[in-house]
Structure formats: structure tokens, C-alpha cells
């Protein structure tokens, strides 16, 4: 037996062998993916084995966000100098204004300006909590440098004389306090109870979307204040320069040390989330000024908002939801299901039941079934080792699953599990699926091939793998059996990419362009019932690959999901 | 003011000499696939912000933090996933090793993987994580002890 050190070194060798340096194409493709209309900023160079060689584009290249308001979007590049504006909702606090001690001076052209610098790290990353009108809110700042200013806001101060660059502000409605509304909005005087929600609605009814905050569905709107030197983020409400001075939506009296914070100005971006907690409407507002700042701090803001939890609300419940893809309407799954902290959903063929993985009383992961309405929740496995990868049979009578001992088929009516004999090395994590005729199970093996094995016993057969020149996993057959999709790579090629192959030729082809938006999803739920689309997870969210057109549009925010019908998805939300 | 040419060149040089460290450290933190993805995002970010990063003392450390933030998000709350041990090539490597690594705390995992799998020096790891060498050594000892307990290897 080798020493642990030797084992680690050997394993490291194996791991690193499979790790190719980034190719120019790969990075170039990524950059272009943000916005196909923009020439790639990363151009192909001549690579060698020591690492990628590529050229940076001129600084004016644009990298824009996608059209749907979402978290961690890329932001547009612009040369904008950081300042800060706070959008207030009645509750006003004293801001501690300070230039960061480690700000960098950068010379731009002939004039010397203070611009974005290194975080001043005045407060370390970590868990925080605030209490807003009795609503307890906890959140995490993953990056350091976010300062609490008073009870209701945190800010990050990266630049010089403007005190801060971004704030996140918590308030409830209706707010009263020192803030007064801007009198000159183009749509007239706001009523006394006006709030940004009203404002956003009057500006546009098309762009606000829903997202999940702290396990609750919230409304989200992004507002770009107009007459900006550079374009506002894609998908934002664009407000023309309303000449509203001081303040776009609200103004407030000068605060100590924060004299420049009184106005929302052209070039500002305001994100607002509205969520009902314990009967009160909470608004979370984040504001940045300038697109450089936006690009810098936008992801941090979204991370912080994503980490928000409300201790008063069922602490372990997920925020998994059902979304109607035609209308965008979101509905939380019944609390009875969400409170089990489920994952790996598989939807029954009729769409009336779900099977999922959840921790049982002993804390081990076991399979459960439930009506989609939350009724009749049952734990269906009690495996000594944790079970996973549920898949419904086409007739809805059986659920197949995997554990470390092999593959099993469970009769839903009797609750009895039968192990499938003669399975060759399963890859537990790859997920499994019934073949469309219900006679066999498709699974991924340790040798990176896709196999089918008859559930009643019989020799497993390779469906896809070395013979086709690919390493394949996470395979899923289309409902009519004509196609198979999987994640993998060509031998010695880059991976993992998503492939598609017809089951008569078995010629695998990589999905074009945006294939990295089409990563893992439980194979049992991958194909839409009509076989036209493949559900997959992108970098941060759920996409649907259209087999006919090759498009991979964003469809929902989350980390996975399954089709309920051709227009409706069950989505696993981010967060707990 | 930097010319486009020099900016381009200096970023290419930066990537040439640092891409591997970024990729390995993020893979150690977030698992093989997500780590790679996070490294690509971090490089993309580095490219977009090169004028700021180039003057930093430790741009790799900064981009590591950027990538780790992205990676954590992609991981959500699940554990990182590491490639399985190839039983044919490495018959005497414990198959439970990848899972045992995934169960270490992120800091311990980074230190073990970077030093023992990826052959970084303790000084390089210390710089990346902003730790002193002695505390890297302490974490390493503790992590190796915990690994031995999990997989029953010999020292």
C-alpha cells in the first residue's frame, strides 16, 4: 500500500492529465456568449502546452448581460467614474463617508482621477443580520469590504471622494421619513403611497420578472437611469434623463459625510426586489453608478441578495417552484414538499406526481414520492446507503433509482424494490432513465459509456461510448427513442460538452455555440414530453435547448429542474 | 495611459504564467468541472478588468477570490465533485480518496490538493490564501490526519 502522500500525488497526476489549459477558442467562445453581436474580445492565437495564448480586446469592447434580469450577469464595459447614490424609502440613515485607504490613483489621459481601486477591506466577509421593522434578515457577504452603515444598509466603498460605490438598502413599505419624492417625474406627481414598485410598473410592464429571495418568490426590477454615457444593462427599464434634480425617485437631506449621495443620476442602475415576509412588503434596493462599478460590484450584490434568509420562515425549506414558460408565472411548490429540502426531482409521466431525493430522519438521502399538490408524501426507500437518481417508468408504475450497490426498480404500488441483475459498473452520479418502451434502464458507467440494461435481467448493451469516439455520461433518450443526448467529450477533446446523436446512426455531434449553457440535469427529466427541447443547466440557471433550431435560451433561474409538461417546468431554486 | 498593444501583451503574459495556478486552485476548491468553469469566469473577469488588476500586488489571489465566489454559487450547497480514481492505472490508490477530499473543509482541501496533488510549494499556497507558511503547515497536518482517518491510509 502506498503512503497517503504518494496516493495523492498519483491521483493528482491522473487529474491533471485530464485538465487541458484553456484554449483561446474556449475563452473566446465564452466572451462571445455574453452577446453574440459583439465581436469576440479574445482572439485566437497560437497555443502551446504551457497555457492559452490570446489577445485581449480593446477596452471598449462590450460584454453585456443577457436579456433576462438575472443574477451574476456579465455587465457592460464602460469608462465610468464611480460615485454613489442611495435610493431611499423613507428610512434614512447616516452614511459614514470615507475614501478607502487603499484606493488607487489611475491616470486617465491628462487628468488625474480617482477611480475604482482595490477594496479597502474595512469589514471582512461573513454573515450579517439586520432587523427591518421587525423583519429579521440574515445574509452573507462573500467578498470583504462591505460596510454596515446604520441599521439598514451596507455599502461598498472602492473609490475616492464619493464615499461609496454601491449600496444595498432594506426597507419596508410604506416608508415615511426624511426622503421626499422627486417632483418632476415625466409621468406626473406620484401619489402619497408611491414606491418604486409603482414607478417601475408605470415605466414598463414588460421587464419586471420574478426571482427567489430568501426562499420566497419576489418581484425583481432593474432600472437604468437614462442619458447614460454608455448603454444600460440589457433588459433594464430605461428611464430617460428626467431632469429630476435632486434625485430621481427620492431625494433626501444631506447626510454627514455623504453629501453626494442625494441623487440618482443618469448612468445609475437600480435593482429592486420586493418580497412579502411575515405579512410585510420588504424591498431590497441595490444601486450602483457607472458600468465599471456595475460590472465590479453587480455580482457581489447578487450574491449577497442570493444569500438572504429570513429566520422567521421555515429555515430548511427550498424555494423550488413551478414556472409556466409561456407566461412566466411562478408558483412555489407546496410547502409540504419544499420543507423536506428535496432535490433531483423526477416527474411522473402524467405530471401528477414527483419523486425526489431528501434527507430522512437519519439524515441520509432517500427517495420520496408526493403528489405535485403536496399530498400523500411517502418515503419509498430506506437503503442502507443513500439512494439517488430517481426515474419514472413510462407507464408510471415504477420508479428506478441507483445507490452504491447498483440499480433498482421499485414498484410504486407495493413499494417493493428489485435489484436489476447484471449491471456493469454504474456511475451513480450520472443519473438514470427508463428507455421509452419501459423495458430497460439507461445508465452511465465507470468507463464513460452509456449502457442500457433490461430491468428483468439480461446483458447490458453499450449505447454510446468508445466505439463512437466519445466519453459519455448523463445520457438521456428522447421520448420517441430517436435521439440520445449526453455530456462528454471526444477522446482527447475538450469537455464536458453536450452531445446529441440519432439512435439510428449513433453519430454524436456537439451542440453548437452555446453548449456550455447546456450542462447537467437529471436525465429522467431532460426531454420535454414532446421531444422538442432538452432541459439543461447553464452557468447559473436553467436553459432549454431547442433541438430544431439549436437555440439554448434561458428559461428559469435555478440549478436544475424537470418538465411537468411541454410548457411547464419544475425548477430547483438556488439556495437552500 | 497604456496602449492597447501593451495591455494586450501583458494580459497574455499574465495568462501564460498564471492560468495553471488559477485553474488548479479553483478545481481544488470547487471540484473539477465547476472549478474549471470558475477559472474561465475568473479569467474572463480578469480580461475585462485588466487595467485594475495589472497594478495589484497579487492578481492571482484576487482572481482566485473572484472565481471562488462564482464557483460557490454554482456549487450551491453541494460538495465539490472530483474525478474518480482510475482503478486500472492507479490500483493502489484508495477509491474513496476523491470523496474524502470533497469532505474536507475548503481551506484544508485546497492545501492538501495543491501541495500533494498539484505539487505547489507551501509558500505558493500561503500566498494564494493569504496565510503564513506556518499556518499552511498546520492546516496541512490536520487535513492529512483527517484524510487518514477517513480512508484508513498509512502515513
Give the strand order in the sheet containing A330-332: A330-332, A321-324, A568-572, A560-565
- A407: nearest Cα among A363, A444, A447, A382: A444
Closest chain A residue to B37 measured between Cα atoms? A539
Reference A63, options A73, A72, A54; nearest CA is A73
At A187-209, the pLDDT tens digits run 444 333 334 444 444 343 334 56
Whether a cis peptide bond, with omega within 30° of 0, leads into A496 is yes
Strand partners of residue A170: A284
Confidence of residue A373 (pLDDT cuts 50, 70, 90): very high
Query: Cell digits for A230?
Result: 454608455
Percent of chain A with pLDDT over 90: 19
What is the CB neighbour count within 10 angstroms for residue A466?
Answer: 13
Q: Which residue has the cell 457592460?
A: A76
Q: If pLDDT is split at 50, 70 and 90, which confidence band does A471 have?
A: confident
Rounded to a whole number of angstroms, the distance from the CA of B52 to the nearest CA of chain A is 7
Average pLDDT, chain A: 67
Three-state DSSP class for residue A77: coil
Q: Residue B79: left (phi > 0), alpha (psi -120 to 50), or beta?
A: beta
Q: H/E/C letters for each residue in A328-390?
A: CCEEECCHHHHCCCCEEEEECCCCCEEEEEEECCCCCEEEEEEECCCCCCEECCCCCCCEEEE
Of residues A1, A50, A56, nearest to B154 (C-beta): A1
Spatial CA neighbour of A247 closest among A182, A197, A166, A200: A182
Instruction: Enter the DSSP assignment of A544.
Output: E
Give A16's contacts in chain B (Cβ within 8 Å): 24, 117-118
Q: Return the higher-pLDDT residue of A153 and B151.
A: B151
Pull the grid cell for residue A219.
418581484
pLDDT given for residue B129 in this prediction: 80
A8 contact residues in B (CB cutoff 8 A): 97, 112-113, 116-117
Q: For residues A469 and A520, is the Cβ–Cβ distance under 8 A?
A: no
Chain-centre distance of CA A388, in angstroms?
A: 23
Q: How far is CA A267 from the centre of its chain?
A: 26
From CA A530, how far away is CA B118, in angstroms rounded?
47
Q: Are A22 and B20 in contact (CB under 8 A)?
A: no
**Nearest-by-Cβ selection for B84 from A107, A446, A559:** A446
B141 interfacial to chain A (CB closer than 8 Å): no
- State whether B49 and A296 contact (CB < 8 Å): yes
Sign of the four-CA dihedral A325, A331, A336, A340: positive
The pLDDT of residue A90 is: 21
Cell of A524: 429522467
Cell of A96: 459614514
Residue with cell 465599471: A292
Per-residue pLDDT, averaged over A495-513, amounts to 80
Of the listed ranges A59-68, B76-85, B142-151, the least confidently predicted one is A59-68
Q: Mean pLDDT in chain B?
A: 82
**Quick check: B95 contacting A, CB < 8 Å?**
no
* Residue B43 or residue A492, greater confidence: B43
Per-residue confidence band for B25, with pLDDT thresholds at 50, 70 and 90: very high
Tally Cβ neighbours within 10 Å of residue A401. Answer: 26
| Least confident segment among A32-36, A270-274, A299-303, A461-465 | A32-36
Q: Do A11 and B147 touch (CB under 8 A)?
A: no
By Cβ distance, the residue of B8, B76, B148 closest to A55 is B8
Q: How large a percentage of chain A has pLDDT more than 70?
A: 58
Report the residue of chain B nearest A447, measured CA to CA: B86
B52 vs A306: CB contact, 8 Å cut-off?
no
Q: How far is B132 from chain A (nearest CA, A)?
A: 18
Q: Decide if B108 touches A, using CB distance below 8 A.
A: no
Least confident of A74-88, A225-239, A455-469, B54-68: A74-88
Residue A107: pLDDT above 50? Answer: no
| Residue A335 and residue A375 in contact, taking contact as beta carbons nearer than 8 Å | no
A67 vs A84: CA distance, rounded Å: 25
pLDDT of residue A369: 96
Our CA-based measurement puts residue B142 at a distance from the nearest CA of chain A, in whole angstroms, of 14
CA distance B59 to chain A (A): 11
Residues of B in contact with A45 (CB under 8 A): 12
Asked if A50 lies within 8 A of B11 by C-beta distance, the reply is no
| A97: pLDDT strictly greater than 60 | no
Per the confidence metrics, is the pTM higher than 0.80?
Answer: no
Residue A321, C-alpha cell as written in the block? 417552484
Give the span between the Cα atoms of A463 and A484, in whole angstroms.
Answer: 9
> What span, in angstroms and rounded, lies between the C-alpha atoms of B3 and B24?
31
Question: Across A133-196, where does the E strand assignment appear?
Answer: 135-141, 146-149, 153-156, 166-172, 180-181
Q: A139 or A405, which is more confident?
A: A139
pLDDT digits (tens, 9 = 90+) for A262-319: 455 556 677 778 787 877 777 787 877 766 777 778 878 888 888 888 887 765 567 8
Q: pLDDT tens-digit profile of B87-119?
A: 888 888 888 899 899 888 888 899 999 999 999
Which of A2, A3, A15 to probe the B interface (max B CBs under 10 A)? Answer: A15
Provide ipTM, 2 decimals. Answer: 0.91
Residues of A in contact with B27 (CB under 8 A): 15, 19
- E strand or H helix at A213: strand A209-213
| Distance of residue B85 Cα from the nearest chain A Cα, in angstroms | 7
List the single residue in A with minimal CA-CA distance to B152.
A4
Best of A2, A3, A6, A12 to substitute, by most chain B Cβ atoms within 10 angstroms, is A12
CA of B155: how far to CAs of A1, A494, B140, in Å? 10, 36, 13
Closest CA to A212 of A132, A308, A326, A127: A308
Query: Looking at residue B70, what is its pLDDT?
Result: 80
Task: At A330, list the grid cell.
Answer: 411562478
- Asked if A300 and B74 come within 8 Å (Cβ–Cβ), the reply is no
Find, in chain B, the residue whose alpha carbon is nearest to that of A573: B76
Most confident of A43-57, A288-302, A525-539: A525-539
Q: How far apart are the CA of B40 and the nearest CA of chain A, in angstroms? A: 7
How far B46 CA lies from chain A's nearest CA (Å)? 10
Cis peptide before B9 (omega within 30 of 0): no
Q: How far is B67 from chain A (nearest CA, A)?
A: 11
pLDDT at A3 over 60: yes
Partners of residue B82 in chain A, C-beta under 8 Å: 15
B103: closest CA of chain A, how far (Å): 15
In B38-77, the residues whose Cβ lies within 8 Å of chain A are 39-41, 43-44, 47-52, 55-56, 62, 65, 69-70, 72-74, 76-77
As a whole number of angstroms, the distance between CA A441 and CA A407 comes to 9
DSSP structure class, residue A444: E
- At A303 the pLDDT is 82
- Inter-chain contact B74–A576, Cβ cutoff 8 Å? no
Q: How far apart are the C-alpha atoms of A145 and A124, rounded to whole Å?
A: 6
Please give the average per-residue pLDDT across B139-145, as a whole number.
86
Whether residue B117 and residue A143 make contact (CB cut-off 8 A), yes or no, is: no
* CA distance linking residue A570 with residue A521, whole number of Å: 12
pLDDT of A58:
23
Interface check B5 vs A, CB under 8 A: no
Specify whether the CB–CB gap between A73 and A559 falls below 8 A. Answer: no
**Short-list B77, B106, B87, B96, CA closest to B147:** B96
Report CA B132 to chain centroid distance, whole Å: 17
Q: Is A413 helix (H, G, I), strand (E, B) or coil?
A: coil
Task: Write the CA distances from A32 to A228, A231, A494, A515, A542, integer angstroms.
Answer: 24, 18, 18, 13, 19
Amino acid at each position: 500500500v502506498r503512503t497517503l502522500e504518494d496516493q495523492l500525488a498519483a491521483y493528482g497526476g491522473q487529474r491533471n492529465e485530464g485538465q487541458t489549459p484553456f484554449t483561446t477558442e474556449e475563452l473566446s467562445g465564452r466572451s462571445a456568449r455574453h452577446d453574440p453581436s459583439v465581436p469576440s474580445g479574445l482572439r485566437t492565437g497560437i497555443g502551446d502546452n504551457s497555457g492559452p495564448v490570446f489577445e485581449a480586446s480593446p477596452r471598449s469592447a462590450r460584454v453585456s448581460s443577457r436579456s433576462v434580469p438575472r443574477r451574476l450577469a456579465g455587465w457592460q464595459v464602460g469608462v465610468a467614474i464611480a460615485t454613489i447614490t442611495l435610493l431611499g424609502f423613507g428610512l434614512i440613515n447616516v452614511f459614514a463617508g470615507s475614501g478607502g485607504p487603499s484606493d488607487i490613483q489611475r491616470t486617465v489621459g491628462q487628468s488625474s482621477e480617482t477611480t475604482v481601486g482595490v477594496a479597502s477591506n474595512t469589514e471582512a466577509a461573513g454573515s450579517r443580520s439586520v432587523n427591518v421593522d421587525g423583519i429579521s434578515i440574515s445574509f452573507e457577504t462573500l467578498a470583504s469590504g462591505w460596510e454596515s452603515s446604520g441599521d439598514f444598509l451596507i455599502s461598498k466603498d472602492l473609490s475616492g471622494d464619493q464615499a461609496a460605490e454601491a449600496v444595498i438598502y432594506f426597507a419596508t413599505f410604506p416608508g415615511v421619513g426624511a426622503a421626499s419624492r422627486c417632483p418632476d417625474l415625466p409621468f406626473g406627481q406620484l401619489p402619497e403611497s408611491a414606491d418604486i414598485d409603482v414607478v417601475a410598473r408605470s415605466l414598463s410592464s414588460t421587464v419586471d420578472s420574478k426571482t427567489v429571495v430568501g426562499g420566497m418568490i419576489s418581484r425583481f426590477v432593474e432600472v437604468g437611469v437614462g442619458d447614460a454615457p454608455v448603454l444600460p444593462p440589457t433588459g433594464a427599464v430605461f428611464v430617460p434623463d428626467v431632469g429630476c434634480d435632486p434625485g430621481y425617485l427620492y431625494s433626501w437631506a444631506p447626510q454627514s459625510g455623504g453629501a453626494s449621495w442625494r441623487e440618482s443620476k443618469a448612468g445609475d442602475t437600480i435593482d429592486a426586489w420586493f418580497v412579502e415576509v411575515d405579512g410585510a412588503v420588504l424591498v431590497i434596493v441595490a444601486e450602483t453608478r457607472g458600468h465599471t462599478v456595475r460590472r465590479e460590484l453587480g455580482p457581489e450584490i447578487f450574491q449577497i441578495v442570493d444569500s438572504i434568509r429570513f429566520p422567521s420562515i421555515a429555515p430548511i425549506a427550498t424555494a423550488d417552484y413551478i414556472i409556466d414558460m409561456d407566461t412566466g408565472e411562478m408558483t412555489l411548490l407546496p410547502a409540504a414538499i419544499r420543507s423536506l429540502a428535496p432535490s433531483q426531482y423526477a416527474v411522473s409521466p402524467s405530471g401528477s406526481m414527483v419523486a425526489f431525493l431528501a434527507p430522512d430522519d437519519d439524515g441520509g438521502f432517500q427517495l420520496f414520492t408526493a403528489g405535485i399538490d403536496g399530498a400523500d408524501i411517502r418515503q419509498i426507500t430506506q437503503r442502507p446507503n443513500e439512494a439517488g437518481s430517481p426515474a419514472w417508468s413510462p407507464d408510471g408504475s415504477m420508479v428506478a433509482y441507483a445507490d452504491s450497490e447498483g440499480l433498482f426498480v421499485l414498484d410504486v404500488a407495493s413499494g417493493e424494490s428489485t435489484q436489476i441483475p447484471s449491471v456493469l459498473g454504474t456511475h451513480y452520479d450520472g443519473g438514470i432513465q427508463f428507455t421509452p418502451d419501459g423495458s430497460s434502464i439507461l445508465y452511465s458507467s465507470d468507463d464513460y459509456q452509456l449502457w442500457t440494461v433490461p430491468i428483468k435481467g439480461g446483458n447490458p448493451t453499450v449505447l454510446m461510448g468508445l466505439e463512437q469516439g466519445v466519453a459519455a455520461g448523463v445520457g438521456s433518450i428522447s421520448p420517441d427513442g430517436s435521439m440520445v443526448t449526453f455530456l462528454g467529450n471526444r477522446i482527447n477533446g475538450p469537455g464536458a460538452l453536450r452531445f446529441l446523436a440519432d439512435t439510428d446512426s449513433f453519430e454524436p455531434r456537439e451542440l453548437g455555440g452555446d453548449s456550455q449553457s447546456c450542462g447537467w440535469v437529471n436525465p429522467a427529466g431532460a426531454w420535454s414530453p414532446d421531444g422538442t427541447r432538452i432541459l439543461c443547466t447553464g452557468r447559473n440557471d436553467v436553459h432549454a435547448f431547442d433541438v430544431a433550431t439549436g437555440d439554448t435560451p434561458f428559461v428559469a433561474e435555478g440549478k436544475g429542474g424537470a418538465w411537468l409538461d411541454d410548457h411547464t417546468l419544475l425548477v430547483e431554486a438556488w439556495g437552500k | 495611459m497604456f496602449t492597447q498593444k501593451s495591455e494586450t501583451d501583458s494580459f497574455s503574459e499574465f495568462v501564460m504564467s498564471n492560468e495553471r495556478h488559477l485553474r488548479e486552485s479553483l478545481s481544488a476548491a470547487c471540484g473539477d468541472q465547476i472549478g474549471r468553469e470558475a477559472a474561465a469566469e475568473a479569467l474572463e473577469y480578469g480580461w475585462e478588468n485588466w487595467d485594475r488588476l495589472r497594478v495589484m500586488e497579487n492578481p492571482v489571489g484576487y482572481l482566485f477570490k473572484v472565481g471562488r465566489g462564482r464557483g460557490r454559487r454554482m456549487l450551491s450547497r453541494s460538495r465539490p465533485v472530483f474525478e474518480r480514481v482510475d482503478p486500472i492505472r492507479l490500483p493502489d490508490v484508495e477509491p474513496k480518496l476523491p470523496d474524502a477530499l470533497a469532505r474536507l473543509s475548503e481551506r484544508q482541501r485546497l492545501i492538501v490538493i495543491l501541495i500533494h496533488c498539484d505539487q505547489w510549494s507551501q509558500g505558493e499556497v500561503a500566498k494564494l490564501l493569504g496565510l503564513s507558511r506556518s499556518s499552511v503547515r498546520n492546516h496541512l497536518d490536520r487535513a492529512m490526519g483527517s484524510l487518514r482517518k477517513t480512508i484508513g491510509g498509512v502515513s
